[in-house]
Amino acid sequence: MDVLSQDKEEKLKSFINIFVEHPILTTIIEDFDRLRYNKRLGGEQQCMLLTGDTGSGKSSIINHYLAKTKIDNTARDAMHIPVLVSRIPSKPSLDSTITELLKDLGHFGSFHSNHRTRRSAQGLTETLISHLKNCKTELIIINEFQELIEFKSGRNRQEIANRLKYINEEAQIPIVLVGMPWAKHIANEPQWSSRLTIRREIPYFKLSDDPKCFIRFLMGLAKRMPLDVTPDFKDKKIVFSLFSASSGCLRKLKIILNEALKLALIEGSSTLSNQHLARVYDIYGVDDSNPFILDIEELTACEVLQYSNYDTGAACDDKALIATIYTERAPITQLLKK
């Protein structure tokens, strides 16, 4: 396998981790900033629910915001952790989630102590609240929140809601719950229905809704590619082929572009071409019909029709998770007429 020089490898890594804003992402960043500012003003702290289907860019925006706050916090006290980002652990439970929050605050000793002494759930929560105050935390972001509430009874979901409400009130810190579309079930709990004052969803791109948004996003990516000549992502053939290949899913789109850029850098190309994209699709495409070698009139695509969901009333766990549903593949021109 061909490998890149160290310089080109660093350039590729930079692009892979690039963050390109578009309207909903800009709004979400402003929401995070607003919650932190309102924390300084005191009073009841608002909370936020952020949902999006797999590959929509939830983790990307969290990582971007966390990196930004770490840069802003460089000159401050090392104990100051303005934004605490945590993920629901692999064996999700209420106590393991509290423990994970403590670990992410840097209090690894508390993690071991809690297991040795089997401290009460209340004691674990009080320890977290104390450390949050000591670290002057302004915002808590809990990612993959749906894993904590799926396959749980109504009573268990209420207990989770109550504990998070207690942390929100006692620590006086806004909480952002981030997850798949069914994370919104927490909003059905009385303790959180009014507490989640901000609710955002990161959608997939849809040509039938706003093709210009998809094009602007592609152009933003193109401008950040470490190439002598910026790829022509205004060209309709490339735009429609990329949509056909990704179905509007950001993760699929980035995988294709990352690999195509790697090919261009290995070959020393001045720009990224349709041929690079076609070769990548031959590797990763699940459809025999490669959109990058078809004429524009032959291109078809599908769009998201219904995002994935979770049926709390399902007879068994195997039937609880409902996969994302897409439209039937249709000519691009037909999508644009909707």
| Separation CA 121–CA 68 (nearest Å) | 33
Lowest mean pLDDT among 46-55, 289-298, 311-320, 328-337: 311-320
* pLDDT on residue 156: 85
| Separation CA 158–CA 211 (nearest Å) | 41
Could you list the residue range(s) of the whole structural domain that residue 245 is in? 6-18+208-294
Q: Is residue 244 part of a domain?
A: yes
Is 277 buried (19+), middle (13-18) or exposed (0-12) by CB count in 10 A?
buried
Q: Is residue 144 part of a domain?
A: yes
Domain boundary among 202, 230, 256: 202
* pLDDT on residue 264: 96
The H or E element spanning position 332 is helix 332-336
* pLDDT on residue 113: 44
> By percentage, how much of the chain surpasses pLDDT 90?
68
* pLDDT on residue 333: 84
Q: Are 107 and 57 members of one domain?
A: yes
Residue 75's CB is within 10 A of a number of other CB atoms, namely 5
Q: Is residue 111 part of a domain?
A: yes
Which pTM was predicted? 0.90
Q: Are 212 and 284 members of one domain?
A: yes
If pLDDT is split at 50, 70 and 90, which confidence band does 153 have? confident
* pLDDT on residue 111: 46
Q: Please, which contacts does 27-36 make with residues 24 or more away whose CB atoms are closer than 8 Å?
A: 27/200, 28/61, 28/200, 28/202, 29/61, 29/64, 29/65, 31/198, 31/200, 32/65, 32/83, 32/139, 32/141, 32/176, 35/139, 35/174, 35/176, 35/198, 36/82, 36/83, 36/138, 36/139, 36/174
Instruction: Classify the phi-psi angles of 75: left when phi > 0, otherwise alpha if psi is within -120 to 50, otherwise beta.
Output: alpha
C-beta of residue 62 within 8 angstroms of C-beta of residue 92: no
First vs last C-alpha separation in the chain: 44
Q: Are 185 and 287 members of one domain?
A: no
Q: Are 64 and 160 members of one domain?
A: yes
How much is the average pLDDT of 257-274?
96
| Separation CA 85–CA 62 (nearest Å) | 8
Q: Are 261 and 184 members of one domain?
A: no
Q: Are 14 and 27 members of one domain?
A: no
How much is the average pLDDT of 160-175?
94
| Separation CA 117–CA 142 (nearest Å) | 26
Q: What are phi and psi of 127, to 5 degrees?
A: -65, -45
Q: Is residue 77 part of a domain?
A: yes
Tokens of 158: 């209420």
Is 181 buried (19+), middle (13-18) or exposed (0-12) by CB count in 10 A?
buried
Total of domains in the chain: 3
Q: Is residue 1 part of a domain?
A: no
* pLDDT on residue 118: 46
Q: Are 194 and 48 members of one domain?
A: yes
Q: Are 238 and 328 members of one domain?
A: no
pLDDT in tens, 201-259: 999 999 999 899 999 999 999 999 999 999 999 899 999 999 999 999 999 999 999 99
CA 51, chain centre distance (Å): 8
Q: Are 55 and 116 members of one domain?
A: yes
Q: Are 50 and 100 members of one domain?
A: yes
Q: Are 122 and 190 members of one domain?
A: yes
* pLDDT on residue 302: 95
Q: Is residue 299 part of a domain?
A: no
* pLDDT on residue 250: 96
| Separation CA 253–CA 250 (nearest Å) | 5
Domain boundary among 139, 169, 202: 202
If pLDDT is split at 50, 70 and 90, which confidence band does 313 have? confident
Tokens of 86: 């945590």
Residue 338's Cβ-side half-sphere holds a number of Cα atoms within 13 Å equal to 15
pLDDT in tens, 107-149: 755 444 444 444 577 888 999 999 999 999 999 999 999 999 8
pLDDT over threshold 70, residue 270: yes
How much is the average pLDDT of 153-164?
86
> By percentage, how much of the chain surpasses pLDDT 70?
93
* pLDDT on residue 76: 57
Domain boundary among 202, 231, 246: 202
If pLDDT is split at 50, 70 and 90, which confidence band does 3 have? confident
Q: What is the CATH number of the domain that holds 97?
A: 3.40.50.300
Q: Is residue 249 part of a domain?
A: yes
How much is the average pLDDT of 140-166?
89
Q: Are 170 and 27 members of one domain?
A: yes
If pLDDT is split at 50, 70 and 90, which confidence band does 77 have? low
* pLDDT on residue 114: 44
Mean residue pLDDT across the chain = 89
The H or E element spanning position 214 is helix 211-223
C-beta of residue 52 within 8 angstroms of C-beta of residue 203: yes
* pLDDT on residue 276: 96
